[in-house]
């Protein structure tokens, strides 16, 4: 199913996207299919390794784990690896026997596939930056911070998969006028802001509370939230090169968080990005 016209409000968008299966990339689907017939290759760690580069697979695992979480569970499943371990391999594989494949879903729309890949590439770079910053800070939840950065823009990914015409319309508007605020473009095209839709979906799917917290920009006083947001901002501003006017401010803010000079931060992020 493709969404071609915007829904009127947040509730309708949430209901529609929640009802649609979360697709995964072909490479992930193939790797999972191979694990199904080779027990020696199948493990939560191996599946988690796949999820590290496929945000949509990570999102699907977390949503699936939340559905199967026991009411007696004392804590959330916070990462893809722990989600698979909690569910067990048989339950995991049952959900992935016939997944929706991104490349098949967008087979007739190569520009949508390119738009999605651009967001995924940015998400993976943000995750790399976020993990590097968290390790420098010796944060015990470094893996969750990495995952939060990777999933920071998952609603944009879902739009490219399920509402590519609307996603393309937003992209074209912002490319035509770089002064337009993203939130206003989203309201004009979708009748909802993506961050509101994302938080509603996280709640609807029962995603981990810690993951929800550290993607909440209103809690920037928390170092973990700043870790994620600054990593996401840097990945966005450097997506097309390192000459964006916002980058010096990014390096300064990251330096304050890590107790490093902007010059040292610059060297560090270049190493992380290599």
Domain residue limits, the chain: 24-99, 110-273
Nearest to 80 by CA among 151, 26, 27: 151
> What is the Cα–Cα distance from 104 to 223, expressed in whole angstroms?
40
C-beta of residue 87 within 8 angstroms of C-beta of residue 73? no
pLDDT given at position 9: 97
Residues of the chain with pLDDT under 70: 70-77
pLDDT given at position 76: 56
What is the fold of 110-273?
Hypothetical protein af1432 (1.10.3210)
- Residue 101's SS3 state is strand
C-beta of residue 65 within 8 angstroms of C-beta of residue 86? yes
């Amino acid at each position: 199913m493709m969404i071609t016209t915007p829904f009127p409000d947040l509730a309708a968008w949430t209901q529609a996207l929640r009802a649609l299966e979360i697709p995964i990339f072909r490479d992930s689907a193939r790797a999972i299919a191979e694990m199904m017939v080779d027990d020696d290759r199948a493990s939560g760690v191996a599946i988690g390794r796949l999820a590290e580069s496929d945000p949509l697979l990570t999102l699907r695992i977390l949503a699936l784990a939340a559905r199967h979480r026991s009411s007696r569970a004392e804590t959330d499943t916070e990462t893809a690896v722990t989600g698979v371990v909690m569910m067990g391999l048989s339950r995991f594989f049952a959900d992935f026997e016939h997944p929706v494949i991104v490349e098949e879903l967008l087979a007739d729309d190569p520009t949508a596939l390119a738009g999605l890949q651009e967001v995924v590439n940015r998400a993976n770079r943000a995750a790399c930056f976020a993990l590097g910053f968290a390790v420098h800070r010796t944060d015990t939840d470094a893996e969750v911070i990495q995952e939060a950065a990777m999933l920071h823009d998952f609603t944009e990914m879902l739009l490219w998969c399920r509402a590519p015409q609307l996603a393309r319309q937003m992209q074209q508007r912002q490319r035509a006028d770089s002064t337009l605020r993203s939130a206003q473009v989203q309201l004009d095209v979708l009748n909802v802001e993506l961050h509101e839709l994302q938080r509603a979906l996280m709640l609807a799917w029962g995603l981990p509370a810690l993951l929800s917290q550290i993607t909440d920009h209103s809690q920037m006083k928390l170092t973990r939230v700043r870790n994620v947001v600054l990593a996401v901002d840097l990945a966005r501003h450097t997506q097309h090169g390192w000459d964006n006017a916002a980058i010096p401010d990014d390096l300064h803010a990251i330096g304050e968080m890590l107790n490093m000079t902007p010059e040292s931060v610059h060297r560090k992020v270049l190493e992380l990005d290599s």
